[in-house]
Structure 1
Amino acid sequence: MIAGRMLSTLIRTRVMSCAKPQSLKQRQNLTMFLLVCKLSSYQVTKNIEHISQNNRVRTDKATWNFNREENKPLLVLLSWLLSKRAHVMKYVDLYLQQEFDVLLVSITPWQLLWPTKGSRLVATDLIEFLAKQQNYQQILLHGFSVAGYMWGEVLDLLQHDPQKCNDIFNRIVGQVWDSLADVNDLAVGTPRALFPKNEMLQNIGQKYFEYHLKTFYKQSTQYYIRSSQLFHTNTLHKPALMFVSKADTVSSLTSNLRVKESWDSLGTKTYMKIFEKSSHVEHYRKYPKEYTAELYAFLNKLNLMQKEKKVGVQI
């Protein structure tokens, strides 16, 4: 338990360090980006933010009713743990260029560790948002790292509400998964993601996560296992693109290939881009042209591309 308290303190420190850009230059760059793009941002919940470009979004806080003049597609971006906003906004911009609205969803390490008081509540809020926003008739998922687990929680909750499940599934047109981390990668992968440059803290974190998985089966582990099962069976059955790397020490290539094989066997068309040397959720940073071309080619297959010539992507 001492290790657990120590890890909790370290995680809180990491959360605070990632809560905002670390330098004046980063803050200035982020402010400039928001001004140039003329973004409208609305905090739906503590973990869910709605972002729209060049469009004043009027909201009713009681009903989360978003009134828009244009029928844009919606991107549901499920972020990675302790992601920095400046980094996430680079992916948001890829979709803003294609005239998407964006729903940014995040969870904290604590919410990951305690699903019933954390991630499952976020999943419930996400379902409620999607169910109420009927103006979004084209929805795309783009998830990073533990987002696969997060989406599994959504699938678990939806199976108990067939009406909402059918409605939401009918509007989802595709899914993108970057550096997908399975439940089998949790104990090793999560500490590496939280403390990428500190081997000692990685070892402490791994020991604690192993302890957590064994000790808190009812509170946590059973939800990880169920989520993984539902994710692998892919009840969504919509076309998918997966980004992976041979050098990723958090998200194993083997587990990602296992997901692809499972989805292919179920008739889900699944594309995979394998990079050679990029680390966890760093594929776009290291290979921006290849990443963007692969992503936009996938959007083109889904008839979601709006500005192919403007962004200069060859499809």
Structure 2
Amino acid sequence: MSPSLVAKRKVWLTYNNLRVCGSGVSMTTRPRMVGGVTAHKINKTITLYVNESAAAPQVHGQARPLLLLLPWLGSRPQGMAKYRDIYFKAGFDVLIVETKVSWFLWPRWGLEYGAQVLEILESDKFSSRPLLVHAFSIGGYTFTQLLVHMSQDQQRYQRLMQRVKGQIYDSLVYGSLDHMAVGLGKTMFPQFVGLVRQLSLLYFWMFKRHTADQFESDIAVFRNSPVMAPALFFFCQNDPLCDAEYLEQLIEHWRDRGVQVEGRKWKKSVHACHLREHPQEYLSALEHFLSSLSLTSLRAKL
């Protein structure tokens, strides 16, 4: 069997676990309810969380909004729970889309995963939902794979792009290839950061056409994203995984394109831990941003 047929078969087998009559989404396991929250496992890396214990504070005439939450690499459920709870209070259901390191190391697999996520978002279960994106660290890379598909066929994905009402990026891995290599080491093998960095850069050099060149292409897509919804960036000057100067240039570029962008920068903080390090400032910026989107009738402070 040719490599292309193997890839297509692999994608189809994954899709087959997600689809009902070609348009719906099925769950691979029975829903679990804990503390009034029901977890619907769609597949190994995608889970829908619904707060059953409280009525959603919805805007009249609008479907309940859905948060697309893309965690950092190696995140733990308890780490994501505090963000889930914030959005439950704001009236969202939460779809967590995790990232595997293999999808980053071999971008073509990440692109296939992006296509799967898009199909889920377009399924009957979610097709009427307004969307908010909140991506942490490498989760921004995963969302970029969705943007690549959107940019290649904007007519097909026009309605989906319009459903995205806001986008939040926390500790986006942005800058040179070296930043990506350092990030990989700090996330996967923090005790061997230097070695992992060198091996990663060697790997990117050996498979340049399939990795480094693709990363450059993805960054270009992100800079000129087809999604023009308002954006909020959380970042700090001492983050080794993000070049703050480059990110500020990106923010200005988006503003020049007509995107409404807010940024919250700290001189010192911790990668993907800004909520822990600066809780009041983080929640204040997030609450102000959500209020500006008018996605929910926000009744309680976050």
TM-score, length-scaled by structure 2: 0.80
SS of alignment partner, residue 152 of structure 2: coil
Q: State the match for 2:148 in structure 1.
A: 156
Aligned to 1:171: 163
Deviation string 1:284-309 (CA, Å, 9 cap, x unpaired) is 0111121111101100000134333x
Match of 1:72, SS? coil
Shift of 1:183: 5.5
Q: Specify the alignment match of 2:42 in structure 1.
A: 44
Between the aligned partners of 1:183 and 1:274, the Cα distance in structure 2 is 16
Q: How does 1:88-237 map to 2 (within 5 A)?
A: 88-117=80-109, 119-132=110-123, 133-182=125-174, 184=176, 185-196=179-190, 198=191, 201-237=192-228
Q: Within 2, Cα distance between the matches of 1:49 and 1:214?
A: 35
Q: 1:52 to 1:164 in 2, by over 3 A?
A: farther
Determine if contact 1:139/1:173 at 8 Å carries over to the other structure.
yes
The answer to whether the 8 Å contact 1:77/1:143 transfers is yes
Amino acid at match of 2:169: W
Which residue of 272, 280, 283 maps to 1:292?
Answer: 283
8 Å CA contact 1:40, 1:54 repeated in 2? yes
CA shift at 1:217, angstroms?
2.1
Question: Residue 77 of structure 1 corresponds to which residue in structure 2?
Answer: 69
Q: Label 1:134 to 1:89 Cα distance change in 2 as closer, same or farther (>3 A).
A: closer
Please state how far the C-alpha of 1:134 moved relative to its aligned partner.
4.7
Aligned 8 A contact 1:243 1:274 in 2: yes
Amino acid at match of 2:231: A
Whichever residue aligns with residue 281 of structure 2, its letter is: E
Give the CA RMSD over aligned residues: 2.0
Q: Distance in 1 between matches of 2:126 and 2:79?
A: 30
C-alpha contact 1:98 1:307 (8 A) present in aligned 2: yes
* 1:261 maps to which of 243, 252, 277: 252
Structure-1 separation of matches of 2:262 and 2:295: 17
Opposite residue 247 of structure 1, the aligned amino acid is N
Q: CA deviation at 1:166?
A: 0.1
Contact 1:181 1:189 in 2 (8 A): yes
Task: Name the structure 2 match of 1:241.
Answer: 232
**Structure 2 alignment gaps of length 5 or more:** 1-32, 54-61
Supply the AA of the counterpart residue of 2:135. G
1:8 corresponding residue in structure 2:
none
Q: Distance in 1 between matches of 2:240 and 2:275?
A: 17
Q: Report the secondary structure of 2:211's partner residue.
A: helix
Bigger CA drift: 80-89 or 135-144?
135-144
Indicate whether 1:302 and 2:296 are aligned. no
* Alignment match, 2:19: none
1:36-82 deviation line (CA, Å, top 9, x unaligned): 3x111112122211111107xxxxxxxxxxxxxx9310000111111
User: Match for residue 34 of structure 2?
Assistant: 35
Aligned counterparts of 1:242 and 1:86: Cα–Cα separation in 2: 23
**1:10-37 deviations in Å (ceiling 9; x for gaps):** xxxxxxxxxxxxxxxxxxxxxxxx733x
Residue pair 1:142, 1:176 contacting (<8 A) in 2 also: yes
Letter in 1 for 2:52: N
- SS of the equivalent of 2:202 reads helix
CA shift in 2, pair 1:149/1:269, >3 Å: same
Distance 2:151 2:251 in 1: 22
Offset from partner CA, 1:169-206 (integer Å, 9 cap, x none): 1111010000011252212232123344x2xx000110
